[in-house]
Amino acid sequence: MILIKVLGKDGKKIMNIEEYQRFISDFYKARNWYQYDPFIRANFLAEEVGEVSRAIRTLEIGRDRPDEQEGLPEEKLANLTEELGDVLDNLFILADKYDISLETIMQKHKEKLLSRYQMNQETEKNS
């Protein structure tokens, strides 16, 4: 079981990744955000990825916009964290729509990487 640390308001709650996926699914359903088909959800995901790019640009080189105030580094990092969360939530919803657990995604991706780059790993071990 893969655990991620998700703190509640009490600062004590620990939630595993599948619990978080269920939470997001229930949260989106309660707000009528879940019903969008995967094509629309993929567009939402693309929009959120753009917002992550903007947040990274702001952190790394700034925005250079006279109509925007320069934020503190902590504020910029908080914004990036928020936008990364929006990306994850959209990924979680897409996975949920196809009944794919996040744990399965991570395991399959790990297997793919190890299989694809096995030759490089063996070469590195022998060096």
Q: Locate the domains of the chain by residue range.
A: 3-100
Q: What is the pLDDT of residue 5?
A: 59
Q: What is the pLDDT of residue 85?
A: 96
- Judge: domain 3-100, CATH 1.10.287.1080: yes
Residue 1's contacts (CB-CB under 8 Å, 6 or more residues apart) are 16, 18, 103
Predicted TM-score (pTM) of the model is: 0.78
Strands 3-4 and 15-16: antiparallel
State the pLDDT confidence band at 10, using cuts at 50, 70 and 90: confident
Angle between the N-to-C axes of helices 102-116 and 118-126, in degrees from 0 to 180, rounded to the nearest 10: 60
What rounded mean pLDDT belongs to the chain? 88
Token pair of 106 as six digits: 């991570």
Predicted confidence (pLDDT) at residue 126 exceeds the cutoff of 80: no
Pairwise pLDDT comparison (5 vs 114), residue with the higher score: 114
